[in-house]
Structure 1
């Protein structure tokens, strides 16, 4: 079962007003769609995780005619959950349509970022995945960031390592490179993965950086 990590880049005139808020205001740091219910009805329900000034965020919600209702649950000083119902528009239909088909599933979260960017994960089989990507609106620039075999366990904490970085890190852990005191050397790790010591060292440095950055990001969310 394949997964695609996809980046969508919306042109300014197709961005949701709340997505534009991320671009135009320093008050909102993160806006992440955690779950959503999209039915045949004209209104959809979504749960967002929001970091930043919640007053600025909710004021923006009140100014949007499409937003039917919303509720806010505080997590801490800067983080909140926002449950909202909004009326679907033509952009939503163009986006949701290709992704609502037999053979694929959109796996939350969908992370909305500055400059009209959204990141999401889609899992499924080859044909439906290709068809879904092909039918996304032409004006929304679509980039496949990563392709792999889907594993829910990895999705719980995925620093986005390349195959070679993962092999180097797995070998290092198995051989005791991270034990204290250290039980092996970079040279031995390099032999295990059939690489030059300098290459193995570079794989490990990049893997360590990716893992630690992802971990800090996870801690910031939690």
Structure 2
């Protein structure tokens, strides 16, 4: 199975569109977190006071370097709602988003990867319905060329795992529960906590299940197109096969 990568840019109303149009030398790189965005803002030009004021108004400044050599600012912002966002559309069309999003001269630049070229085409048609869009490239990716940028942000791996579940997972890991042979037992791990064994085990199993679910998309990408099946396992039936 081949992987298919598409890079494209879109234009629509967004808090960063006006800023990047007003300052054409500006580049904004955007990473999505669970409840906000981290922005890296750069320009090779000496920043004006108007530009600095606009950038500082975006959110909480985490780092700023602004002098005659140019501008480099890292800020945390919560301007764009991710509800029903373009990322939701990527997911609906089985396309994996490769961060960051790059904003420049009023355009948002995205790169996605999918297993099926048809999913890429469907996604682009969906976006054309309400956005100006320009496709920059569409390529097939050999399995051995899977880009390192496919690595998912750490917060995505632990999405929806509660603090208690994370604590149970960390305790098990640090005490050799996942080693072979095991360095400890569930009973011993629960004894290190203030909760019953059944409660501790529930936290641990839920953490394991959520972690594996979150990493599933990356696992499928890593194994996509593998010529041999080292376990000799039968492939899972498709929905069409199940219907038969």
- The change in CA–CA distance for 1:153 and 1:68 in structure 2 (over 3 A counts) is closer
- The change in CA–CA distance for 1:75 and 1:21 in structure 2 (over 3 A counts) is closer
- The change in CA–CA distance for 1:128 and 1:152 in structure 2 (over 3 A counts) is same
- Greater Cα radius of gyration, structure 1 or 2: 2
- The change in CA–CA distance for 1:86 and 1:154 in structure 2 (over 3 A counts) is closer
- The change in CA–CA distance for 1:48 and 1:68 in structure 2 (over 3 A counts) is closer
Alpha-carbon distance in structure 2 between the residues aligned to 1:113 and 1:85: 18
Task: Please give the root-mean-square deviation of Cα atoms over the aligned residues, in Å.
Answer: 3.3
Alpha-carbon distance in structure 2 between the residues aligned to 1:99 and 1:8: 14
**Does the aligned pair in 2 maintain the 1:32–1:109 contact within 8 Å?**
no
**TM superposition shift of 1:4:** 0.4
User: What is the match of residue 22 of structure 1?
Assistant: 20
TM-score, normalised with respect to structure 2 = 0.46
TM-score, normalised with respect to structure 1 = 0.50
Instruction: Please list the CA deviations of residues 57-104 of structure 1 after superposition, one character each: whole Å capped at 9, or x if unmatched.
Output: 4411454xxx452322438731414131214338x7342320234732
Instruction: Please list the CA deviations of residues 169-201 of structure 1 after superposition, one character each: whole Å capped at 9, or x if unmatched.
Output: xxxxxxxxxxxxxxxxxxxxxxxxxxxxxxxxx
Q: Which runs of 5+ in 1 are unaligned?
A: 156-222
Instruction: Please list the CA deviations of residues 118-177 of structure 1 after superposition, one character each: whole Å capped at 9, or x if unmatched.
Output: 22211112244334333336231122221112335698xxxxxxxxxxxxxxxxxxxxxx
Alpha-carbon distance in structure 2 between the residues aligned to 1:144 and 1:32: 20
Alpha-carbon distance in structure 2 between the residues aligned to 1:61 and 1:81: 8
Alignment of 1:68-107 (within 5 A): 68-74=59-65, 77-89=69-81, 93-101=84-92, 103-107=94-98
Number of residues paired by the alignment?
Answer: 140
Alignment of 1:131-210 (within 5 A): 131-136=122-127, 138-150=129-141, 151-152=145-146
Alpha-carbon distance in structure 2 between the residues aligned to 1:81 and 1:122: 26
User: What is the match of residue 27 of structure 2?
Assistant: 31
**TM superposition shift of 1:55:** 4.8
